[in-house]
Structure 1
Amino acid sequence: MVAPVEELREFVRAALIDPVPRNHQESDAAFHRRRVVAVVTLVIGTAVLAYALRVPPGDPRFYAATGALAVVWAVGAWSSGPLHLGRARTRNGRYDVRPVLQPLVVGLLLLGVFLIGAIVVARVPVLRGPVDALLDHARFGSLPLVAALTAVNGIAEELYFRGAAFAAVGRRYPVLITTIAYAAVTAFSGVPLLVLAGAVLGLVTGLQRRVTGGILAPIITHLTWSLGMLLLLPPALNAFG
């Protein structure tokens, strides 16, 4: 039992706790500009998201609105200043590799936890109703298109929240502040469980951003979780409901 526990502890430290060395300093002027762009992008993105989530399932406007939302997050992120992919700490102590395997495992673990939670959600109508309403966009629309938009928006959200916004916060509490901001934005969905999911996902990806110094790990974890939930949550709810 000792070996697996130690392995898990080392994995958590490498993936979510111990930052890798890097130097991403920027001038005061560049930092101020990043903050302005980040705030403007947040306001526009929140407005577009609120509109997109109020489009009825099956309405073609949903695809256009979610596509526009991805453009807002991505353009705002790239306009704010340099973004970094980040690096991971390996088992032998190196930190000159891109984070790929670690965030994939973290995403799968998150997915497993939320699918287990589906057992409870499926049996509580007040919780399941809003989730079903959100999933109706995939049920009554084009699943491949919804999946593609889910992936594109997942990438764009990480470019902004764990890229531009994280850097714009500065050194004081960037994980906490970006997690709160991300959860607050998801509140426009009107789905309480999605707000909880946003808080958990935002915290995990924020820790990954802090550790790796970049956006690659958060993107991989986000895509693994979000696409897995899109494809596996509906059958899980039906199986346990």
Structure 2
Amino acid sequence: MVVVINPVRELRSFVEAALITPVPRDHHESDAQVRRRRIVAAMTLVVGAALLWYSLRIPAGDPLFYWATFGLAGVWICGALISGPLHLGSAWTRSGRSNARPVVQALALATLLVVVFCAGAVAISRIPALREPVDSLLNHARYGSLLVVFLIVVVNGIGEELYFRGALFAALGRRYAVILSTIIYTLTTIGAGVPLLVLAAAVLGLLTGLQRRVTGGILGPIVLHIGWSGSMLFLLPAILDALR
């Protein structure tokens, strides 16, 4: 018997399972717990946004960049853990169960996002006004230790998801958490002065927010974030250099 796979139907099913239909769970929190989250989340956001703005203005090759960005990750992680309990979450399987960890889903989304941004890199390579700020940001990887920068990307990816899709997401309430967390996450990157970083934050924030809403936890967003950012760290400089 030959099984015919309909790619459109498969894609629709994947999008629904990964980004639309939440898995059943009960993560109810008391009013006191929500107030605690909101206070801690607000304080963490102020400190984190200021440190992010500062760290992205440190010249490439300056060792201070490493300390500032590792410190930034520490701010996000500590704020998230202090705010209250965090959940890993679970995902739908092809058989319709909801007891899988959202690793495969998140990796698939990361792959799709990498393809889209690599295609976008080809376009921006022709536009100096967009390319130059990106080149300036990527110089931290070109002129510094690539291994250390990769560790920074991983640790900060974890920290950002623990905070933005963990503590902050839970503090915002269920109805508007996806859109509000995406807006706040995007706004924190404006001070960097890199338009494409702002766009990337908006797209990544929306996808990770939807994954958080569907899975009920931070594992999917973490895997998606690290999969995308780690890949772009290696691919984006190579693409831009090749198209000079």
Q: TM-score range by the shorter chain?
A: over 0.9
- The aligned residue for residue 216 of structure 1 is 219
Give secondary structure in 1 for the equivalent of 2:189. helix
| Root mean square deviation, CA, Å | 1.0
- The aligned residue for residue 134 of structure 1 is 137
Query: In the TM superposition, what is the alpha-carbon distance from 1:177 to its structure 2 partner?
Result: 0.2
Q: How does 1:115-134 map to 2 (within 5 A)?
A: 115-134=118-137
> How far apart, CA to CA, are the structure 2 residues paired with 1:239 and 1:17?
38
Correspondent of 1:102 among 102, 105, 108? 105
Correspondent of 1:68 among 50, 68, 71? 71
Find out whether 1:157 has 2:160 as its counterpart: yes
- The aligned residue for residue 198 of structure 2 is 195
> How far apart, CA to CA, are the structure 1 residues paired with 2:5 and 2:182?
33
Residue type of the alignment partner of 1:115: C
Correspondent of 2:236 among 229, 233, 236? 233
Query: In the TM superposition, what is the alpha-carbon distance from 1:239 to its structure 2 partner?
Result: 2.1
- The aligned residue for residue 210 of structure 2 is 207
Query: In the TM superposition, what is the alpha-carbon distance from 1:240 to its structure 2 partner?
Result: 2.6
Task: Report the count of equivalent residues.
Answer: 241
- The aligned residue for residue 170 of structure 1 is 173
> How far apart, CA to CA, are the structure 2 residues paired with 1:27 and 1:145?
41
Correspondent of 1:27 among 23, 27, 30? 30
Displaced runs of 4+ in structure 1, greater than 4 A? none
Find out whether 1:8 has 2:33 as its counterpart: no
Query: In the TM superposition, what is the alpha-carbon distance from 1:94 to its structure 2 partner?
Result: 0.4
Residue type of the alignment partner of 2:45: L
- Post-superposition Cα deviations, 1:186-224, rounded to whole Å, max 9, x if no partner, equal 112110000000000000000000000000000000001
Find out whether 1:79 has 2:82 as its counterpart: yes
Report the TM-score, using the length of structure 2 for normalisation. 0.97
Query: In the TM superposition, what is the alpha-carbon distance from 1:2 to its structure 2 partner?
Result: 7.3
- The aligned residue for residue 113 of structure 1 is 116
Find out whether 1:91 has 2:73 as its counterpart: no
Give secondary structure in 1 for the equivalent of 2:87. coil
Structure 2 residue ranges without an equivalent (≥5): none
